[in-house]
Structure 1
Amino acid sequence: MKRSFLIGLGAVALLASGSFATEVPAIANLLPKTAIAQNIQAKRQVQLNLAAAKKIVQQTSDGKQQVSWQNLQGNVTVQPGDVIRYTVTGANNGDRPANNLIVTQPIPQQTAYVLNSSKTINITAIVTYSIDNGKTFVAKPTVKVKLTDGKVETRPAPAEAYTHVRWKFTSAIAAKSKVAAAYQVRVK
């Protein structure tokens, strides 16, 4: 029996600016709504937009596979095995650079992170991951596995264990410019 899921494409993005004392949460309930975080003291404003696209693989006439991405909006039905790409775009609408931008995205329930799928566009970022619901973040999550002989071994965390992905942008986001980060998940 095939299962399908109705996924409300919503996600949470956390945002921080260099002069923020703490991180400021901003919620993006997906298209076309946006989330805005603002540093009131410095009048810096970064607007976050979240978009989702479904991976479509088709056979060409010569037998090769062609990959394209179908943009998703609102509530959509997806099947187990479908791959969804989430892209968070940050637009610095302020008149000054935004320093120390951090964007954190949850891995939606009923999906698993696609290992090594995180990337940035137009900027460099340090990417870290959480396997404990966002409490801690590391570049390469690991888990302890008890072997049949009773020994405990540390191994890379499986894709299903990932709960969040975080990008810490290494340079300031220039005034009136945009940056983006993306990651993929597979529907369980």
Structure 2
Amino acid sequence: MLALALLSSGAFAQGAEPLSLNLMMSLVKSVTLNGKVTEQTVANPASVFPGDVISQVITVKNNTGRAIQNVPVKLPVPRSTVYLAAEQGLNAARTEYSIDGGKTFAAAPLMKAVTVTENGKAVTRMVEVKPSEYNAVRWIVNELPAGQSLKLGYRVQVK
């Protein structure tokens, strides 16, 4: 609620937004250098192809003069991609996932009800949702100090 109040408040210096968000998309390529496979990234690629891996990293900056708490940051998984995994080294916030377009979120592993036929009868079972079914990600930033920024992200693969 505090984050919502902060985001809707007009009491910030020079009319600045309390949070700024900057999304960077990079193509992730595996290359061999001196006999060793390593990753290289190409920021904002002009084109991508099926099978390409994209890193989506969002930088969240607190533009206020005080720490803000429990800040939700949502990012949809692009429709033409499949969620792969969280971006390594960027796990400074609680991460939740959605399979219903961002209406509801929960921590992994997500579960869903499926109906199967066993011995001629319909039976509902709870099964674990595969990460490839995630279509939105939400991070809850516990605290972001004044003037500080934080990077959050994940990788997807182009369908």
TM over 0.5: yes
Percent of aligned positions that are identical: 28
Aligned counterpart for 1:143 among listed residues 108, 112, 122: 112
Q: Aligned pair 1:174/2:158, yes or no?
A: no
Q: From the superposition, tell whether residues 80 and 96 of structure 1 become closer, same or farther in structure 2 (CA, over 3 Å).
A: same
Q: Identify the residue that residue 86 of structure 1 maps to in structure 2.
A: 56
Query: Given residue 183 of structure 1, which amino acid in structure 2 is its aligned partner?
Result: Y
Aligned counterpart for 1:95 among listed residues 65, 72, 75: 65
Contact preservation (8 Å) 2:3, 2:71: no
Structure 2: distance between partners of 1:148 and 1:54: 43
1:42-80 CA distance string (max 9 Å, x none)? 667111111011111112342x4211211116xx32111
Q: From the superposition, tell whether residues 130 and 19 of structure 1 become closer, same or farther in structure 2 (CA, over 3 Å).
A: closer
Structure 1 position 19, deviation (Å) = 5.2
The higher-RCO structure (CA 8 Å, 6+ apart) is: 2
Q: From the superposition, tell whether residues 148 and 77 of structure 1 become closer, same or farther in structure 2 (CA, over 3 Å).
A: farther
Q: CA RMSD in A?
A: 2.5
Q: From the superposition, tell whether residues 49 and 152 of structure 1 become closer, same or farther in structure 2 (CA, over 3 Å).
A: same
Structure 1 position 144, deviation (Å) = 2.7
Structure 1 position 20, deviation (Å) = 2.4
Q: From the superposition, tell whether residues 135 and 184 of structure 1 become closer, same or farther in structure 2 (CA, over 3 Å).
A: same
Aligned counterpart for 2:100 among listed residues 132, 139, 159: 132
Matched residue count? 152
User: Mapping of 1:4-43 within 5 angstroms?
Assistant: 18=2, 20-21=4-5, 39-41=9-11
Contact preservation (8 Å) 2:12, 2:64: no
Structure 1: distance between partners of 2:21 and 2:112: 32
**Structure 1, unaligned stretches of length 5 or more?**
1-16, 25-36
SS of the residue corresponding to residue 78 of structure 1 reads coil
Structure 1 position 90, deviation (Å) = 1.1
Contact preservation (8 Å) 1:92, 1:98: yes
Q: Identify the residue that residue 125 of structure 2 maps to in structure 1.
A: 153
Structure 1: distance between partners of 2:64 and 2:47: 37
Bigger radius of gyration: 2
Structure 1 position 39, deviation (Å) = 3.1
Q: Identify the residue that residue 9 of structure 1 maps to in structure 2.
A: none
Q: Going by fraction, where is helix more abundant, 1 or 2? A: 2
Q: Identify the residue that residue 29 of structure 2 maps to in structure 1.
A: 56
Structure 1 outlier segments of 4+, above 6 Å: none
Query: Given residue 65 of structure 1, which amino acid in structure 2 is its aligned partner?
Result: V
